[in-house]
Structure 1
């Protein structure tokens, strides 16, 4: 017999949410095999079984909040068939006693007894309660007779209510008439919302803008991309150019690469650049470490690797901690202009946007050029207008003359 316990997640994380049970009662599990996926404030963690055996009990349902050190499941010895036999025998005994008990018990209690006797996963029981479905009425697909979430869902959609239910309250009626859909925020989305609000409330955030003529960097990328791919086995994108330009600008304006600690300003002498990545669970910001020491190919490879891990929900806490500055690219979604919100304790974040052809003055002529608006949101407690405008101007000048970036990389 072995307990499945919520492991230590990280120094600052004390709880998580059951995202998905990978095993159900009666399922066999090998030593070291994943049994449950936990969602934390930052990443998802898969918990393994320390012993081989059969899952005998789940002590928490999907969606429940659990604490570090809490027992959430029990794995016993034996096979699926042997473990289910005692349960079947106990059900048979209860069934013999049921008619006598039902003489004195009210109908509601009888229904509850049947519900309790049914073998079902915690998630299935929870969904059945929410839908008002009696588990004993469900015919499970599982040959062992276990009712799972999909059985409850199928039963609820296939079977119409036998009789009209009492009129629901006004708020419930509005939800059930199809005009609205209620969805619980994931733990990560709640954390993102809380931290963004905290940043807005606790910083003197201001945003300044500039625009970049992308003609030269696009032409350089077009000329070099095939050779770059052949030599490095990675594609040349715009993010490496922006990352290099940001590092150069941070060296010139070190207060933009700092943070506030009490009454002190801590200037970072390293350049760990966060690259915001959108995932189904929300925005995450993995870090390109020591970006000042990496060439274009190393930066592109690092960004590609981190983006894949983010999409596959495989980022570790170490991938996202300790960044000194962040770049976010709303342009991939077509954003023309935005005011990005600061990331954590950082005092600056650069927002990239979509490239759009616009008429601009070139000398005394008007030409159509591919232009991009860029935005720097910054904490005015640390950074003054001079540094913020100078920082953006440096990024602009370097990207409009990208050969300078290549020479300095």
Structure 2
């Protein structure tokens, strides 16, 4: 009996996707739970899995097609009941059909018990890629699914038990073979460039995420009255604290003490002092938010993503550092869930890690404020009538002038400067 392969539920606010890649060809046999195709959405990649054993009879939607939730993209037919092959005495015998999953099979005394469907279930693509990224021997990982298939959860659990890594990772559940909903998947291979006849140009299809980023950035600039104000921060005090505390901090919390936790705390303190920068515009109303979900911009191969640190005001420095490291790692591995990317109230972006001295960050709509960090440089400054060399960082605040006044934006940035330059105040107000 044939079964339709449909686009699974993609998540809140997502109604369509682009077919990034078919992993199976027409006429190819598939097993229940195997990945058939990859879908690319605005935020994450999703895999479509087979609901049953069978043969991929027909591919209805091709790579590059835009499809909606519930739309049929292929047809899965039944596996052949039996195959005829010559026997040793020259007669033809029917090869017994493979038993369905979960049934008992006879075995000879010499046949090991583990020679079952487990050995026929390869690790999921996500599991293989995560294992490769973190140098895990996937053959040592035991599958926990009903068919013995190794999933990414199995890889994560193996690493936690054997290497002590990734304890903070909160990976969304990978679908079991019986389940229809698809899980977030690592990005599909990039489309191959097409060169012109002379070889002087090439055309590369923009990914779904890259197209969405482009459209949103244009929309923000067209709909928001965006302005940017700048200041500079003396990083001496923070760097001195880090130098004294980093070893003990790492030993106690098993995470490095970076600059992002300081700036996250400083942003929270400044938002409490200037709440309209923690708001958004809905029609003729300002929605001022009294919670602090701080987005951290992360550069990935397919473009910038902004995972969110929830309730940053309630988290310790160690919790913030651990969560940012986890989100950044999963962003680059493309294993973030939709929940990781939704609902931020303010964003921080750090161009300094790429060497940027000064830039104008673009708002992450519908938010009305974004802080840009930059490279720390030893520069001469005037201090108490003397010229001294200090580690200085330019900071930039882009804001929506529709609800944030210029003086408010300037004072917000000054507040961040004061908190960073005085870590004791940061601990009290952040």
TM-score (norm 2): 0.72
Native 8 Å contact 1:27 1:80 kept in 2: no
Native 8 Å contact 2:17 2:40 kept in 1: yes
1:176 has 2:197 as partner: yes
The 10-residue stretch of structure 1 (180-189 or 264-273) with the greater mean CA deviation from structure 2: 180-189
Secondary structure of 1:389's aligned partner:
helix
Native 8 Å contact 2:399 2:409 kept in 1: yes
- Please give the alpha-carbon distance, in whole angstroms, between the structure 1 residues aligned to 2:426 and 2:254: 21
- Please give the alpha-carbon distance, in whole angstroms, between the structure 2 residues aligned to 1:385 and 1:81: 76
- Please give the alpha-carbon distance, in whole angstroms, between the structure 2 residues aligned to 1:182 and 1:80: 46
What does residue range 182-331 of structure 1 map to in structure 2 within 5 Å? 182-331=203-352
- Larger Rg, first or second structure (1 or 2): 1
Native 8 Å contact 2:56 2:76 kept in 1: yes
| Unmatched tracts of structure 1, length 5 or more | 83-149, 154-171
- Please give the alpha-carbon distance, in whole angstroms, between the structure 2 residues aligned to 1:231 and 1:47: 42
What does residue range 3-402 of structure 1 map to in structure 2 within 5 Å? 3-78=4-79, 175-402=196-423
Question: Do the aligned partners of residues 36 and 370 (structure 1) sit closer, same or farther apart at CA in structure 2, a change above 3 Å counting?
Answer: same
- Please give the alpha-carbon distance, in whole angstroms, between the structure 1 residues aligned to 2:81 and 2:391: 64
Secondary structure of 2:202's aligned partner:
coil
- Please give the alpha-carbon distance, in whole angstroms, between the structure 1 residues aligned to 2:294 and 2:308: 6
Kindly report structure 1 stretches of 4+ aligned residues shifted beyond 6 Å: none
| Unmatched tracts of structure 2, length 5 or more | 84-188
Question: Do the aligned partners of residues 79 and 355 (structure 1) sit closer, same or farther apart at CA in structure 2, a change above 3 Å counting?
Answer: farther
Deviations 1:16-45 (A, max 9, x none): 111122222343323223221100111111
Q: CA RMSD in A?
A: 2.1
Native 8 Å contact 2:249 2:256 kept in 1: yes
Deviations 1:28-82 (A, max 9, x none): 3232232211001111111211112222222222222222221112222216996
- Please give the alpha-carbon distance, in whole angstroms, between the structure 1 residues aligned to 2:382 and 2:315: 36
Structure with higher helix content: 1
Q: CA deviation at 1:403?
A: 3.0
- Please give the alpha-carbon distance, in whole angstroms, between the structure 1 residues aligned to 2:300 and 2:208: 14
Aligned position for 2:95: none
Secondary structure of 1:176's aligned partner:
coil
